[in-house]
Structure 1
């Protein structure tokens, strides 16, 4: 196969997304000289599948440039995964015509804060005393074997209704942190009340910051603290609008009814030294998820299916959030076992594994086990430090 290289410059454009590109991107495009029509057909298929309509031929060309960059990156990532014997697969998805800057606009720029002083889970003491969360000790592997080898909250029901809600879509707003908090609280509420209710991501996004626009990013800590103090309304009463939280101070909590009452929700930080064990214990014993915040590297944008094993986030500055809802183990083509988390994402059900992603567990992949959070409404206060 003959391959040639073209150097292209991506200029500021508009159309399918609203984020403006302020800096050009330079990248290599490798095209099979014998069969270039495959690439053009792939782009046409992409536009049809995701109903892309660009304003003019100039934008079409720039979107094609972005698409080819993704196309090449998918090939490289799949080749690397196959050579390593992993089951991870990458593919074209709804982000494939976005520039790096546009994709990063869907991620959070907020660096996690130090959780010292927040309530921390402790399963070892019957009567807790106050202790500030210590984040600087050596991490421990899971020691207990009393938990099942596999668990998935998506299979759990209360009164015939699943306690993990449908996948939602944050759109172009970087409110992943709010969706992760809401995913946690929805299941906590279902486990407590016996009924599932879709709760308002928009309220957390509007109100759960310190006055900054929620669409610019946010904090799991501020999100759970907000729900603890003010409670949370339902989606029907406070619906999601991906453009609303691009401005700060849009909170309208006093205009809505509380589904989760104020002061009813409790939260705690998972001990990072025992993250794997405690996350598994929360999932299997409490039947609630764990909200997590993690860095995003190149693999995550192109992810299609399988378990992400490699950590490519050491230099990453963008963050994302989701909710761990289960765990399991997979064996790769070389017979090696890889433990993994099942994460509920907020990019719609047409992304990856029906809106979910699986990543390796117990290795602090992309800092995912540094500051997990969970919560409850029932009588588990003895498991917290206050």
Structure 2
């Protein structure tokens, strides 16, 4: 009897050891796979770290983000997907610090009241009937949108949004699509706060007063504020108008005519957006600027959306673009997208 018990004990111990070894092998394989994935990601994005300690820290953050992405995407009830992009080695706190808050639309500019709307600047154009508006619009298909740009860690999204809207307006007016200089606005629109945020309307003010703006090729982007340089203006605008806040139908009629600059309330969930119609959480106040370049309805679930051009590079979102839910029953729109809209007049 003792011999049988001893044999059973030894067998149990052997089974436990084999199980522990298998678990260690699996963990080791998972770790190796993640290390390889991180190395590949670093090469793709040209990312380097100052030392091994920093690299290990970023690998840990990268691993957590990848696992979160995989878990989120396993939920088939979501209308959008997450994906690995250039932000995948950043914590949510770092992302918000570098790409929003005081690095987007500066906090002192974040209220729609700061735009000091007057009857002469508030837009009054609209279609006679909302049914006259096309059911969908994508200004890229008409050659009205330049390629995706990347603001980097300089919080001048306000300049990128203003420039994108003006590029579109100029194309519609002259037939020429010209990439314009965000750097000129960053350096010369001194009423704004450079890399620490600003207002789209102040950027428009500068362009009107300066009698135009230079081409990007003659005044290229540097990702930091520098001294203002005298440049020949290649595109001029006569004025600009703002849309009444909290009015998505009015915003729709505007986007049907040209790309529109808007502010949005971004939070950390935007960091890993990859595709689909975003209907997730938003920030508490407007802290980032983008350009609406269209709208439509999702074929998958019939969700209405706005199509926005962002300035976070082409690895983010749908090659730099995003679909965000429209007509959600909130006058401000999802992420307050209808509270701070404006457009240039060429």
Q: TM-score, normalised by structure 1?
A: 0.73
Query: Structure 2 matches for 1:8-157, cutoff 5 A?
Result: 35-79=30-74, 82=76, 85-103=77-95, 104-109=97-102, 110-111=106-107, 112-113=110-111, 114=113, 115-118=115-118, 119-123=121-125, 144-156=130-142
User: How far 1:108 moved relative to its partner?
Assistant: 4.4
Q: Secondary structure at the match of 1:337?
A: coil
- On the 8 A contact 2:192/2:199 being kept in 1, the answer is no
Verify: 1:281 aligned to 2:250, yes or no: no
Note closer, same or farther for the CA distance 1:108–1:260 as it changes in structure 2 (3 Å cut).
farther
Q: Structure 2 residue aligned with 1:256, among 231, 251, 259?
A: 231
Verify: 1:300 aligned to 2:270, yes or no: yes
Q: Structure 1 residue aligned with 2:283, among 302, 308, 313?
A: 313
- On the 8 A contact 2:215/2:234 being kept in 1, the answer is yes
- For residues 183 and 47 of structure 1, the distance between their equivalents in structure 2, rounded to whole angstroms, comes to 30
User: How far 1:182 moved relative to its partner?
Assistant: 0.3
Q: Secondary structure at the match of 1:145?
A: helix
Note closer, same or farther for the CA distance 1:328–1:146 as it changes in structure 2 (3 Å cut).
same
- On the 8 A contact 2:167/2:179 being kept in 1, the answer is yes
Q: Which has the higher strand share?
A: 1
Q: Secondary structure at the match of 2:298?
A: strand
- For residues 350 and 105 of structure 1, the distance between their equivalents in structure 2, rounded to whole angstroms, comes to 17
User: How far 1:265 moved relative to its partner?
Assistant: 2.9
- For residues 172 and 36 of structure 2, the distance between their equivalents in structure 1, rounded to whole angstroms, comes to 48
- On the 8 A contact 2:161/2:290 being kept in 1, the answer is yes
User: How far 1:183 moved relative to its partner?
Assistant: 0.3
Consecutive unaligned residues in structure 2, runs of 5 or more: 1-25
Verify: 1:265 aligned to 2:235, yes or no: no
User: How far 1:146 moved relative to its partner?
Assistant: 1.8
Aligned residue for 1:374?
343
User: How far 1:79 moved relative to its partner?
Assistant: 4.3
- On the 8 A contact 1:107/1:318 being kept in 2, the answer is no
Q: Secondary structure at the match of 1:324?
A: strand
| Cα offsets for 1:279-305 (capped at 9, x unmatched) | 322232x3x201111111122101111
- For residues 146 and 32 of structure 1, the distance between their equivalents in structure 2, rounded to whole angstroms, comes to 59
- For residues 27 and 47 of structure 2, the distance between their equivalents in structure 1, rounded to whole angstroms, comes to 25
Note closer, same or farther for the CA distance 1:76–1:313 as it changes in structure 2 (3 Å cut).
farther
Instruction: Flag the structure with larger Rg.
Output: 2
- For residues 173 and 147 of structure 1, the distance between their equivalents in structure 2, rounded to whole angstroms, comes to 37
Note closer, same or farther for the CA distance 1:359–1:116 as it changes in structure 2 (3 Å cut).
same
Q: Structure 1 residue aligned with 2:260, among 290, 299, 308?
A: 290
Q: Which runs of 4+ in 1 moved over 4 A?
A: 31-34
Say how many residue pairs are matched.
306
- On the 8 A contact 2:158/2:203 being kept in 1, the answer is yes
- On the 8 A contact 1:209/1:218 being kept in 2, the answer is no
| Cα offsets for 1:302-325 (capped at 9, x unmatched) | 1111110123323xx672111000
User: How far 1:190 moved relative to its partner?
Assistant: 1.5
Q: Structure 1 residue aligned with 2:173, among 192, 205, 209?
A: 192
Aligned residue for 1:228?
208
Aligned residue for 2:323?
358
Note closer, same or farther for the CA distance 1:215–1:45 as it changes in structure 2 (3 Å cut).
same
User: How far 1:192 moved relative to its partner?
Assistant: 1.6
Q: Which has the higher helix share?
A: 2
